[in-house]
Amino acid sequence: MNKRSSWALPYFIFLLLFVALPLILVMVYAFQDGSGHFTLSNITKFFSDSDALGTFALSLEVAVENTLICILLGYPAAWVLANKEYNRSAVTIVLFILPMWINALMRTLATTELFNMLGVTLGKGTLLYGMVYDYLPFMIYPIYNVLNKMDKSYAEAAQDLGATPWKVFWKVVLPLSMPGVASGVLMVFMPTVSTFAISEFLTNNKIKLFGTIIQENINSSMWNYGAALSLMMLIIIGITTMFQGKDKEVEGGMV
Amino acid sequence: MSVTSENIISLNHVSKSYSGKKVLDDISFYVRKGEFVTLLGPSGCGKTTTLRLIAGFLSPDEGDILLDGKDISEIPPYRRPFNTVFQRYALFPHLDVYDNIAFGLKLQKLPSEEIDKRVRKVLKMVSMTDYEDRDVESLSGGQQQRVAIARALVNQPKILLLDEPLAALDLKMRKDMQIELKEMHRELGITFIYVTHDQEEALTLSDTIIVMNEGKIQQIGTPTDIYNEPKNSFVADFIGESNILNGKMIEDRKVEFVGHCFDCVDEGFGQNVDVDVVIRPEDIYIMNKLEGAQFSATVKSCTFKGVHYEMFVDTDKGYELMIQDYNAFEPGSTVGLLIRPSDIQVMKKERSCNSFEATVVDSTHVSFLSETFETEEQTRFPAGTKVLARVAFDKVDLTDHQEDGTIDGEVHFLLYKGDHYHLTVLTSEGEHIWVDTNDIWDKGDLVGVNIAKEDIHLCELQQ
């Protein structure tokens, strides 16, 4: 090990202790019963538990819906923000990012109270509202980043070749901004699959998501089943990340 | 098809400003059908703005742009029958070579056999057959350039606009592409409007060159006209190497410079009129013997430049000249020099001294260029009178530090005139001050400007 790479040692130890070890523990616990013997029963229990499977499916459904709504709302917002004709100041972008600086739990609680005050029945609608509200900035920012950095000569070249502004968008701007969209999808989809606080507060625990079940199991000391459920979620997240990994260049950029 | 007499596009009194700064000032020119026209000038001269106005990415503040006699100022770029080759190519990174080239044709909804035929034909023309499935980012600069040209030409535009298309290529490749572009122009008969800052490229390629500087057209002409008969010292300095000297037209066909009187071929300047004289370094005959020579000089340096030697000499009256010759002359040796009458290019001086519009403040102060200057006491003009303040070029004093000057400015352009430098200083207010100095300054130097009170001469403002 040369001198320079030894600088990475503290980080490596940190990684080992706080990233690798917990993941290994999740794996180990998932394949053990309460007394520490190897078993597959936790996994088979999940696949035979219609409740858990139903929640799993619902979680995916909500995550997909949330991601789609975020794209539909976030893309136009990012486009307007990145367009110098409509937005000349960086302050507007900060305003869009600003809600992210407030604790998500506080925002969710405030939203719940707002719905209660207005007399809106809590349910799937309010759940989606809360999720979109929480995760929209994570969609806007990477798309904005890509659009903002995009060489405007591409759009000019398309116009020059006879494309109307609408065609310029469909044929050039949109395809070239896909890495940003992919980044946004990753940043919205993954946390929504595992969220539990939003569903707990915004549906008054009427709708349970997968994260809620994991939390309940672990809270009631069912460590092994909880770990098995976490493993399932990790697999889903792993698959999503692989989709992203195929994109040859990710210009999205995190917040 | 050769150049015809029919105008395809003309710009009439076009002006354009960006945030208050005029980048194009009353530009007028026309391009004939089939012509290869080059807009040539240093960066920031307005050449790219002119091209973008023609392409339709910008619209003029004043004036109009006519295509076949019809105003196209209001027509958006996607409906103009022009195509552009962009400086950085702007090839679509998400499409392969074929789809990049077919982009325009697909928008026109042509049948796919027709598209296929035309794409293949144009690929062959730019020698890029077999590359159609390649990712554009895997191509070299020269190959990307060819694809960019193919993508524009496949649409059969009435005019091909080229924005410094060869600037990103290395020298060898640039030379090859120049020849190919010229061939393409001849074969296709399409009008080319070409933007470059490279004077050699402009001289090689063009039928007509439009030299621009600071948003104004300096000269329009054929390459030989521009080279042999530069209209002003900017053009003479920008195109090729030249000796630019102060001179005096004694009478018709007689001009004095470097302390000697020469026969020349120019007439009609009047008698004893100050002029600028341009001598190309290859037009000075240099010889070992003094008989037959018009004046003598001492060789200061001699550098081999491949085809010729480049020498700097000090003349008998103390002027420095650049000479190019096939023979080398030893530094330190005395040589005889001769200039033929037809090789002396005499130009009218654009100005003989600085003159500023000024307002008298009181009997010892006057204000111009947004500052107040002390003058010698005068009673001719009462306070508040608008006058003209004249300052000779060599009476303007430049200092290293902007804070030491009454006005601050930046050295914008410099010209060596054989025994002194003639500088153009751009003040922070955007005004010009011209300065003659023996000190060496560089372009972009920040300077302070001072003018002594005895050097400001006030005179009546002529209406």
Instruction: State both tokens at A116.
Output: 């209660």
Does any domain span residue B76? yes
- How far apart (Å, rounded) are the C-alpha atoms in residues A199 and A105? 11
- How far apart (Å, rounded) are the C-alpha atoms in residues B193 and B35? 8
Does any domain span residue B18? yes
Contacts of A174 in chain B (CB under 8 A): none
What's the Cα-to-Cα distance from B94 to each of A246, B115, B216, rounded to whole Å?
15, 19, 40
Contacts of B155 in chain A (CB under 8 A): 161-162
pLDDT of residue A161: 95
C-alpha closest to that of B203 among B224, B182, B217 = B224
- Do residues B160 and B83 touch, judged by C-beta distance below 8 A? yes
The gap from C-alpha A137 to its chain's centroid, in whole angstroms, comes to 11
| A1-5, A205-209, A214-218, B260-264: range with lowest mean pLDDT | A1-5
pTM for the model stands at 0.80
Same domain, B166 and B276: no
What's the Cα-to-Cα distance from B286 to each of A192, B63, B254, B277, B314, rounded to whole Å?
85, 51, 22, 19, 13
- Inter-chain CB proximity A175 and B151 less than 8 Å: no
Contacts of A156 in chain B (CB under 8 A): 57, 77, 84, 86, 90
Task: Using CB atoms within 10 Å of the CB of residue B350, give its burial: 0 to 12 exposed, 13 to 18 middle, 19+ buried.
Answer: exposed
C-alpha closest to that of A71 among A183, A229, A175, A146 = A183
pLDDT class of B261 with cuts at 50, 70, 90: very high
Percent of chain B residues topping a pLDDT of 90:
61
Same domain, B323 and B400: no
pLDDT class of A254 with cuts at 50, 70, 90: very low
Same domain, B199 and B178: yes
**CATH code: domain of residue B429:** 2.40.50.140
H or E element, residue B382: none
* Closest CB to A162 among B57, B94, B108: B108
- Inter-chain CB proximity B83 and A161 less than 8 Å: yes
Task: Using CB atoms within 10 Å of the CB of residue B268, give its burial: 0 to 12 exposed, 13 to 18 middle, 19+ buried.
Answer: exposed
State the residue for tokens 């026109």.
Answer: B108
Query: How many angstroms away from the CA of A173 is the closest CA of chain B?
Result: 10
C-alpha closest to that of A59 among A235, A238, A203, A213 = A213
Domain that holds residue B436: 354-460
Domain end call among B233, B266, B297: B233
Strands B295-304 and B309-315, how do they pair? Answer: antiparallel
What is the CATH superfamily name and number for domain A49-246?
Answer: MetI-like (1.10.3720.10)
Q: Which spans in chain A are helix H?
A: 9-15, 21-30, 41-48, 50-82, 91-97, 104-118, 124-149, 152-160, 165-168, 174-176, 178-194, 197-202, 210-219, 223-246
pLDDT of residue B258: 92
pLDDT of residue B1: 44
Q: Is the pLDDT of residue A185 over 60?
A: yes
Cα end-to-end distance, chain A, whole Å:
34
Choose, out of A84, A150, A151, A160, the residue to mutate when testing the contact with B (most B CBs < 10 Å): A160
- Inter-chain CB proximity B88 and A151 less than 8 Å: yes
DSSP B275-313: EEEEE-GGGEEEES-STT-SEEEEEEEEEE-SSSEEEEE
Amino acid at B51: L
Contacts of A160 in chain B (CB under 8 A): 55, 77-78, 82-84, 152
What's the Cα-to-Cα distance from B328 to each of B302, B313, B323, B331, B404, rounded to whole Å?
7, 12, 11, 9, 46
Count of the separate structural domains present in chain B: 3
- How far apart (Å, rounded) are the C-alpha atoms in residues B292 and B337? 9
pLDDT class of A37 with cuts at 50, 70, 90: confident
How many CB pairs lie under 8 A apart between chains A and B? 57
- Do residues B447 and B398 touch, judged by C-beta distance below 8 A? yes
Does any domain span residue B2? no
* Closest CB to A156 among B57, B94, B107: B57
Same domain, B34 and B52: yes
**DSSP 8-state class, residue B137:** G
Contacts of range A150-154, beta carbons closer than 8 Å, 24 or more positions apart: A150/A82, A150/A176, A150/A177, A151/B88, A151/B90, A153/B86, A153/B88, A153/B90, A154/B90, A154/B92
Choose, out of B49, B53, B75, B78, the residue to mutate when testing the contact with A (most A CBs < 10 Å): B78
Q: What is the mean pLDDT of chain B?
A: 91
Same domain, B193 and B252: no
Does any domain span residue B395? yes
Residue of A nearest to B85 (CA): A157
**CATH code: domain of residue B112:** 3.40.50.300
Q: Under an 8 Å CB criterion, which residues of B touch A?
A: 55, 57, 76-79, 82-84, 86, 88, 90-94, 103-104, 107-108, 151-152, 155
- Do residues B415 and B232 touch, judged by C-beta distance below 8 A? no
Q: Is the pLDDT of residue A245 over 70?
A: no
- Do residues B267 and B253 touch, judged by C-beta distance below 8 A? yes
- Do residues B373 and B366 touch, judged by C-beta distance below 8 A? yes
The gap from C-alpha B60 to its chain's centroid, in whole angstroms, comes to 22
Instruction: State both tokens at A249.
Output: 């260049």
As for the ipTM of the complex, it is: 0.77
Same domain, B332 and B380: no
- Do residues B304 and B336 touch, judged by C-beta distance below 8 A? no
* Closest CB to B107 among A167, A175, A176: A167
| A87-101, B243-257, B435-449: range with lowest mean pLDDT | A87-101
A residues 152-211 near B, CB within 8 Å?
153-154, 156-164, 167, 171-172, 175-176
* Closest CB to B55 among A160, A164, A171: A160
Between A95 and B96, whose confidence is greater?
A: B96
Does any domain span residue B1? no
Same domain, B380 and B425: yes
Same domain, B314 and B409: no
**DSSP 8-state class, residue A38:** B
C-alpha closest to that of B158 among B70, B58, B268, B264 = B70
pLDDT of residue B434: 92
Query: How many angstroms away from the CA of A162 is the closest CA of chain B?
Result: 4
